[in-house]
């Protein structure tokens, strides 16, 4: 399938171009019999999604650790001219030390059927920015909306806008009221509000300095960004592994 091939090649090109402490490493790629294989580093810490499901919700300092590493990964992608567009818990893996690694650069974000009349999105829409859903053109600020949705999910146990079907979920993302539980700290509430601005120009991170104003937000007042990039912060969850190829942190359906 030509489209799949294009997505796989796009993924390979991005992974070859992007080297970063919080982005999955492409070990090598090869082609055989019309198939393209990408060999990625093995990340034995499993999906952040699994840990979030297990815990239910994260404490704010735990969420702050993961969010800060994700911000640096997204900033790096943006500096390379790449919009990630698919930030969600399933695409965030943890290495054997418990640090974040973004994965899945296939860019299979949109699937167009019926001669472009209906546009359906493959994958999860709960974290997608309104401007992707309305197809009004989008830039790197879509990733900061998704970061807000992800942060909300980490701190409350569910994405900010959900409904019983896709159509109603899209309606909520476009028009629904943002409900912030009272147990969130004022700083967490403020950051989520500023990331989940439907008006792109008002969204934190939409300016030319990208993630800098996000990093200066009071939610991160305890964070030393130099320590973050150098992986000096203590991960809140350290996988207990029997060896390099331990698969215990993954759902058994994948192993």
What pLDDT is recorded for position 111? Answer: 32
CA nearest neighbour of 230 among 99, 42, 60? 99
Low-confidence ranges of the chain (pLDDT < 70): 1-17, 26-30, 36-43, 105-123, 240-255
Query: Which tens digit of pLDDT belongs to each residue from 7-58?
Result: 666 666 666 667 889 998 766 666 777 776 666 666 677 888 888 888 999 9
What pLDDT is recorded for position 24? Answer: 83
CATH number of 45-238: 1.10.510.10
Out of 4, 25, 61, 86, which one is annotated catalytic?
86
What pLDDT is recorded for position 67? Answer: 98
Contact (CB, 8 A) for 228 and 69: yes
**At a CB cut-off of 8 Å and minimum separation 6, what does 99 contact?**
21, 22, 45, 69, 231, 235
What pLDDT is recorded for position 254? Answer: 44
What pLDDT is recorded for position 249? Answer: 54
String of DSSP letters for 148-182: HHHHHHHHHSS-SS--SSHHHHHHHHHHPPPP--T
Query: Any catalytic annotation for residue 86?
Result: yes
Distance CA 39, CA 3 (A): 20
Report CA torsion sign: 67, 69, 71, 73.
Answer: negative
- The DSSP bridge partners found for residue 92 are 102
Q: Which two tokens stand for residue 235?
A: 């991960």
* DSSP 8-state class, residue 126: T
CA nearest neighbour of 214 among 190, 184, 249, 181? 190
Domain boundaries, the chain: 45-238
């Amino acid at each position: 399938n030509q489209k799949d091939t294009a997505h796989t090649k796009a993924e390979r090109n991005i992974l070859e171009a992007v080297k970063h402490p919080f982005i999955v490493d492409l070990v090598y790629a090869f082609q055989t019999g019309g198939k393209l294989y990408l060999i990625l580093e093995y990340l034995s810490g499993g999906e952040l999604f699994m840990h979030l499901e297990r815990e239910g919700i994260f404490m704010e300092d735990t969420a702050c650790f993961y969010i800060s590493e994700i911000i640096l990964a997204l900033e790096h992608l943006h500096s390379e001219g790449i919009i990630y567009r698919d930030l969600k818990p399933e695409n965030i893996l943890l290495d054997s030390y418990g640090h974040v690694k973004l994965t899945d650069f296939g860019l299979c974000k949109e699937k167009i059927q019926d001669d472009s009349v209906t546009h359906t999105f493959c994958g999860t829409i709960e974290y997608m920015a309104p401007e992707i859903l309305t197809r009004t053109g989008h830039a790197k600020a879509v990733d900061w909306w998704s970061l807000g949705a992800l942060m909300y999910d980490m701190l409350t146990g569910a994405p900010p806008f959900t409904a019983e079907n896709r159509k109603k979920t899209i309606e909520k993302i476009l028009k629904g009221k943002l409900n912030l539980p009272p147990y969130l700290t004022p700083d967490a509430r403020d950051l989520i509000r500023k990331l989940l601005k439907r008006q792109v120009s008002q969204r934190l991170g939409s300016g030319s300095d990208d993630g800098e104003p996000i990093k200066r937000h009071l939610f991160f007042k305890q964070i030393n960004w130099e320590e973050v990039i150098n992986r000096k912060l203590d991960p809140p969850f350290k996988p207990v592994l029997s060896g390099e190829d331990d698969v215990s942190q993954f759902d058994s359906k994948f192993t």
